[in-house]
Every structure is written in C-alpha cells, then in structure tokens.
Structure 1
C-alpha cells in the first residue's frame, strides 16, 4: 500500500514519517512554505531518538501524481475546518483501472472532533474514523516533532459507519510497525466522542494559557460537564476516563526534545502560527450543536467557540486573555443562560 498524507503537518507529518521509517511508501501533501521545505530538504522529524530526515515525494494536490493507484490509502490530517476543500480536491482524482478516489480508495480521518467522517461520507464510499492520541507539534516549515515514547501515539480506527474490515486491519498492521498502537474497533465513534470531551479544553488553553491550577481546572470541569450533559441528552456513548487511562497506561510518555518546544495543543498551535482559522467550531461547537438539538444549555462552550474564532480571525497571540477575564466572562455567560 502507498500512503498519501493529505495535510503533512504535526499529526500527518509524524504519521507519514514513521510509516516511511517502517519502510512503507509515503507521499506528503502540503502547501506554501511547508511544501517548499519538504521538497527541498525533506521531512525533518524530531523524535526521542533524534532528528530523522525523510526525502519523500511532496505535492500540493493529486494532479502531479497522475492516476492514483488502486492500493493507495488516503490519510486526511488537515484541520476539520479544511476538510471539505481537501475532499473536493481528492474525491474526483482518477484511479488506475477506472473510477475515482471517492469511489474506490479508503480514506482515514486523522482529526479531532467527530464531524469529518460524516463530511467525508458525502464524497467517499470507504471512510474510516480515527481517534488520534498523538502529541505532535509543527515546529517550522519542513520540521515536525513528536515526543511520545515508547510509542509515538495510539490510533483507534474503524469504519465510520461502524464495524471493521480487512483493510482496517492491514492499515493497523502498518501503523503498528511504525511505532503506533492501532486498535481496530467496531465503535470508533465511541472513542472519538471521548476524545472530544478532552478537546473541549483546547479553546480554553488557546485563549487563556495552560490549564493549570484550581481556577483553570475548575473552569474546564464546568466546560466538560456541559459536554457530558449534551452527549447524554443525545444518547451518545463514549469511552470513560478510566477506560481511556487503562488503554493509554504509560505507552505514550512525553520526552523533552531539544529544539522542539511543545507550546500547547492543536488550537494553541493554530493561533501561534497565525493560520487565521481554528477548529473550535468542530469541538466546542459540536457540543453547542448537540445542546441546541436536545435542549441542553451550553453557554461555556459557546463562549469558548466564539472567543477562539475571534482570536483566530484577529490573529491574537495564544494565551493572551487573562484567566481572571475569562472566568468573569464564563460566569456572565452562565448567568445569562439561567
């Protein structure tokens, strides 16, 4: 199988680099300065064993590849807000022997949140959800870091509509050779919703800094409680905190890496890079959506969604809203919704 990594940033670059290290054929898809750096200098992957360089084919879209191969696997690792555009670019790409990528090729959604598999199923027949537990950072164009050890990450995967198949098991085998644990599960959405609850902290961290200390942790607890209430009202199951801890254990321990500081999670990184967009609409916004559909107030998640979007559009630096101000806004939002 050949792996085409659509969005070779922190997560995509790490997975692509590790697959290449394991001897798998990999193509990286990127744009702008990152694409230029990948083409000129290769992918530089900073991991606990050192900096590894992989000179892999790097393209901006499907056209330079000509017809795709029947054994290609598409790994979608863009942020959810960029999903539709990426799928539009790849779904109609021709595949050798006839048909298109959307008709014939497997697509794995290596993304936060739960929305992308549903978006993808509108364009692709074979869609797999992936619950991504993978600490990684986009350091600079051409350079990504992944400090996890002894495993680089844990990637639960399964059919987006539920169930498993032989393709998922073959892909999981390749990922296992590439220093990932990749359980193939029939209920991948259950793991994705559990991860979603944890990712509700991303916007809080992005706008107000690390969630450390009683005040910040207390606010996140209130945000998460809204999420749990919304999932319960919608009848959506999720893996428990205890179940997640049992699976993770000490398999992915963060190792300090020279020249690769980890400033924060994916939303923090979006603000730090000044991308102009952020995934809060598909994290806190997912809870706001469920709350509106099922009559559950979610004022804190709505607040964080709105603040994160404003920070991204106005290119505000991450962590620049004082926690005291965020707490005041949170209290006001809850009072207004009572």
Structure 2
C-alpha cells in the first residue's frame, strides 16, 4: 500500500513522516518552495524529542495510480476540490481535515471515503520544515468510513497510522467526533484575528454556544470536551520545542503565511449555514467568518485586530439582528 499525502504541511507532513518512519511507502504532494525543499533536502520533522530529516519522495500533482494506493487529503478545506482534481476516482480517499463538509464533497467524486478527526498540534511556516508539538505522540486520529461505520480499510488505516508516533482509533461515528472538533475550531478565527488577550475566551464561548444551539436544533450529534479529554488523556500534550516559537493554530498560520485564504467558511461558516437552514441566528459566527475572510484577503497579519473592535462588531451585528 502506498500512501499519497496531498498537502504536506503541518498535519499532512507529520502524518506522512510518521507513516514513513513506520516503514510504509509514502508520496508527499506539495507545491512551490515547499515542494522544492522536500525534493532537494527532504522533510525536516522537529518534535519535542529531537529532529530528523526524512527523504520521502515528493511530487507537485497527480501521478498514475498503482494498485493499493490510498489518498490522504490534508489541505485546508477551501482547497479540497482543487486538490482532488486529476487524481484517479477509483482510489480511496482519506480526509484528514478540519470541518465537516469535505467528506460529502469527496463522496461526489470518490466511492470510498474515510473521515478523520485530527488532534495534532503542529505548524509549518518554513519550506521543508514541520514542527509537531504533541508528546508522547504527535497526534491522535479517529478514523471511520463516511458517512458512518468501519470497514477493512478503516482497520488497515488504524493499524498503519498507529505504528509510529501517532495514536489511531477506529470510530464508526467519526462525524460525531468531527462535529465536536468543529466546535473547538470555532475559536480559530478569534485567535487569528485578536491573538490571546484577556477576554478572548469569552468571544470563543459565545461562538460555541451559538453553534451548540444550531447543532441541537439540526439534530446533529457531537462529542463533548469532557469525552474528548477522557479519550485523549495525556497522549498528545502540546510541548515546547527548543528553538521553535510556537505560533497559533491553522487559521493563525494562514494569516502568518499570507496565504490569501482561510478556513473560516468551513468552520464558522458551517455554523452560519446550518443556522440559516434551521432558523437559528448566528451573529457571532457571521462576524468571525466575515472578518477572518477579510483579513486573509487583505493579507493582514495575525492578531492585528483589537479585541475591543471585534466585540463592537459582534455587538453591532447582534443588535441589528434583534431589530
């Protein structure tokens, strides 16, 4: 079996590296300066235990399929459709992404789709380098067939992913776990916009309270923070790495790189969409979606908005909605 990891950034690079270290055949898919660095110098994986440079084959796009190939998609959600273009639709695709809409998108094109709930604190801000802060394992991955259940591929994925540096669990209700992760990810936009000032947590909780009301109205099940903490335990504790300054999460990193896009439409925007479908107001998430997209479009740096400004925009939107 060959694992083709599309999007060899923080999450994809770590997963690909750990699969490679476990003895599996891996092909990384990247672009631009990152691809050039992977080809010239290999992937430099930095963890709390040390660092290793791994010579993993890398390509810039689709390659002819081989028997046993499995696609692992680890791009940002806004890049899903473009990233899957050109790949054989006979291949199984595994979605190691935030958000809950990618699986349905992939199922339009691929018959065999596996969802993954990813808990993996890592960052990629320099070509050819990925820092994975999780300890003693780099990440925990819940894997399940979409829309539900497990099968032989699930079992193989769990066995292979769990061989080196990762914890993998079969999850027949993988989308319940992914909706729980979605609730957690609603704070990504807040962190990207304002950083970590006092009072930031209150905004995050307002966004999550809105989202819980939406999911409950829609009848969508989600894992709870207590359940997640019990399963995770201390298997993936984020730890500092000497010489590596840890920035923020995936949305923070998108602004830091000046990527020009951000996942807000698939995180806060998912709650906005569900709210509109089920008649639940979502003013907090609407503002976070709008402002995160604006900051990405204008290539503003992370933490460049005062918390007072964000709160004022939210209060204004809440007031407008109540009139």
> Per the shorter chain, which TM-score range?
over 0.9
Report if aligned partners of 2:125, 2:253 keep a CA contact under 8 Å in 1: no
Match of 1:135 among 103, 112, 121: 121
Q: Secondary structure at the match of 2:162?
A: helix
Q: Secondary structure at the match of 1:53?
A: strand
Match of 2:218 among 217, 221, 234: 234
Q: Which residue of 2 aligns with 1:62?
A: 62
Q: Secondary structure at the match of 1:102?
A: coil
CA distance in 1, matches of 2:145, 2:129: 31
CA distance in 2, matches of 1:175, 1:83: 22
Per-residue deviation at 1:23?
1.1
CA distance in 1, matches of 2:134, 2:108: 34
Residue 117 of structure 2 is aligned to residue 102 of structure 1: no
TM-score, length of structure 1 as denominator length: 0.94
CA distance in 2, matches of 1:54, 1:222: 43
User: How is 1:215-230 mapped onto 2 (pairs within 5 angstroms)?
Assistant: 215-230=199-214
Per-residue deviation at 1:260?
2.2
CA distance in 2, matches of 1:241, 1:263: 23
Q: Which residue of 1 aligns with 2:85?
A: 88
Q: Which residue of 2 aligns with 1:30?
A: 30
Per-residue deviation at 1:89?
2.4
Deviation above 4 Å: which 4+ runs of structure 1? none
Unaligned runs of 5+ in 1: 91-100
Residue 139 of structure 2 is aligned to residue 150 of structure 1: no
Report if aligned partners of 1:139, 1:260 keep a CA contact under 8 Å in 2: no
In the TM superposition, what whole-angstrom CA distance separates every residue of 1:231-269 from its partner, at most 9, and x where no partner exists?
Answer: 011100001121111011111112211232221000000
In the TM superposition, what whole-angstrom CA distance separates every residue of 1:95-154 from its partner, at most 9, and x where no partner exists?
Answer: xxxxxx312x21100000101101100110000010000001003000000011111111
Match of 1:333 among 313, 317, 321: 317
Q: Which residue of 1 aligns with 2:51?
A: 51
CA distance in 1, matches of 2:181, 2:79: 20
Q: Secondary structure at the match of 1:319?
A: coil
Q: Which residue of 2 aligns with 1:269?
A: 253
Match of 2:301 among 303, 314, 317: 317
CA distance in 1, matches of 2:51, 2:243: 10
Q: Secondary structure at the match of 2:117?
A: strand
CA distance in 1, matches of 2:99, 2:224: 17
Q: Which residue of 1 aligns with 2:238?
A: 254
Report if aligned partners of 1:8, 1:30 keep a CA contact under 8 Å in 2: yes
Match of 2:69 among 69, 72, 89: 72
The size of the alignment, in residue pairs, is 322
Report if aligned partners of 2:125, 2:257 keep a CA contact under 8 Å in 1: no
CA distance in 2, matches of 1:3, 1:168: 14
Q: Which residue of 1 aligns with 2:184?
A: 198
CA distance in 1, matches of 2:32, 2:167: 32
Per-residue deviation at 1:160?
1.1
Q: Which residue of 1 aligns with 2:262?
A: 278
Per-residue deviation at 1:178?
2.0
Match of 1:188 among 164, 174, 177: 174
Report if aligned partners of 2:192, 2:302 keep a CA contact under 8 Å in 1: yes
Q: Which residue of 2 aligns with 1:95?
A: none
CA distance in 2, matches of 1:56, 1:43: 7
Report if aligned partners of 1:206, 1:318 keep a CA contact under 8 Å in 2: yes
User: How is 1:114-125 mapped onto 2 (pairs within 5 angstroms)?
Assistant: 114-125=100-111
